[in-house]
Amino acid sequence: MKKIINIISALALIFLASSCESDEGTLFDFGGKDYASFGAARFSFSANAEGKHIVHLYHLSDGPSSTFNISVEGADNLFTVSPTQVTFNAGSKQQTIEISYNRAQLALYHPYTITLSIPGQNYVSGAAFFERQNIVIMYEPAFNELEWEHFATGYFESEFFERDEIENTSEWEQTIEKAVGYELYRLPSLYADGVDFVFKLEDETTGEISIPRVAPDANGFYRFDTGFVHPQHGSVWAMLDPDPDYSLFLKEEGIAVFDMYFRTSAVAFGWYAEFFSW
C-alpha cells in the first residue's frame, strides 16, 4: 500500500510539473524560482517494523542544482528527521527524507503528526503542491503480536442477552487480560468462543475508552463484530458509544460499563448497557 501511495504521488507531481507549460502559455508561474514538494505520507506499522519511514521530496523546477532547508515541527524528541537540508543536482527530481523512531517510546494506536515544511515557499493558489506536509505515523500492531497477561476475573452481566432470553444466562464469569506495557484490555470470548472484545483505556481519570484499529463513525461510535449468531436473526454486530457518561472502565474500582447498540443486517435490537465487575 505504501508503495502504491508513493507511486501515485510521484506520477501526480510529475504530471503537475509538466503542466506548468501548455500551448496556451504558463499555467503556474514559478517566477524563475526553485520549488520542491513533499509526497503524501501516512504510515502505520506493526511490531516487526524496522523503525523508520521514508518521505519523498520532489524538485518541481528545471535548472542547476538547488538546496532546500527542511523545517520540522512535532517531532517531540520521539522522532529524528534526516536530512534537514536536501540538495538536488541538476536534472534530479526526487530525494528522500528519513524519519526514524524507537518503537518502545511510542504510545499504542496513537497517531503522531510531524509537520515538514520548506521555509519561504508560497505556491500559486490552486496548485496541488505540498510545501508543507503533515506526516502521520501510528504504531498499530495486530492484537496477536502483543503479549497479554491476566488482569482480573469477575462477572459480566448482559442486558442484551437478558432481553428475550436468547441465551440460557445473562450473567457469566469472565476474565479480563491486559497487554503488557499498554493500557489495552481484552475480554476473551465475550459473546462467542474465540471472538475477543478489545478496548483501550484513553483516560484513567474519566474511564474513557475506545476500540483500537477501528475508525469511529460520524457519530463517534465504534463498530465491532460480536461473533454471536442469533438463533432467529443471524450474525450480530454492535456499536460502542465511548462517551464516558455512558461507557467507562474504572480499573481501580473494578467496574466497567459498555453502552452498546446491537443489530443484525435485518434487525435492530437497540441500545443496551453491558456491565462487568471484578
Give CA–CA dist 181/184, Å, rounded. Answer: 9
* Cβ count within 10 A of residue 42: 15
Phi, psi of 274 (to 5 degrees): -110, 130
Tens-binned pLDDT, residue by residue, of the chain (278 aa): 443 344 334 444 444 444 444 333 333 445 556 788 888 778 888 777 778 999 999 988 777 888 999 999 999 899 999 999 999 998 889 999 999 998 888 888 888 999 999 887 655 444 445 678 889 998 888 898 899 999 999 999 999 988 755 655 689 999 999 999 899 999 999 999 999 999 999 999 999 999 998 889 999 999 999 999 998 899 999 999 999 999 999 999 999 999 999 999 999 999 999 999 99
Q: What is the pTM of this model?
A: 0.70
Burial 94-113 (b: 16+ CB within 10 A, else e): ebebebebeeeebebbeebe
Tell me what pLDDT residue 123 has: 52
48's enclosing H/E stretch is none
Residue 167: the pLDDT is: 59
Please give the C-alpha separations between residue 182 and each of 55, 109, 206, in angstroms, as whole numbers.
29, 10, 17
Pull the grid cell for residue 195. Answer: 471472538
What is residue 74's predicted lDDT score, i.e. its pLDDT? 93
Question: pLDDT value at position 43?
Answer: 86
- Enter the DSSP assignment of 82: E
Grid cell of 1 as nine digits = 500500500
Q: What's the half-sphere exposure (Cβ side, CA atoms, 13 Å) at 163? A: 13
Cα-only R_g, the chain:
25
CA 77-80-83 angle, to 5 degrees, is: 145
> Helix or strand or coil: residue 139?
strand
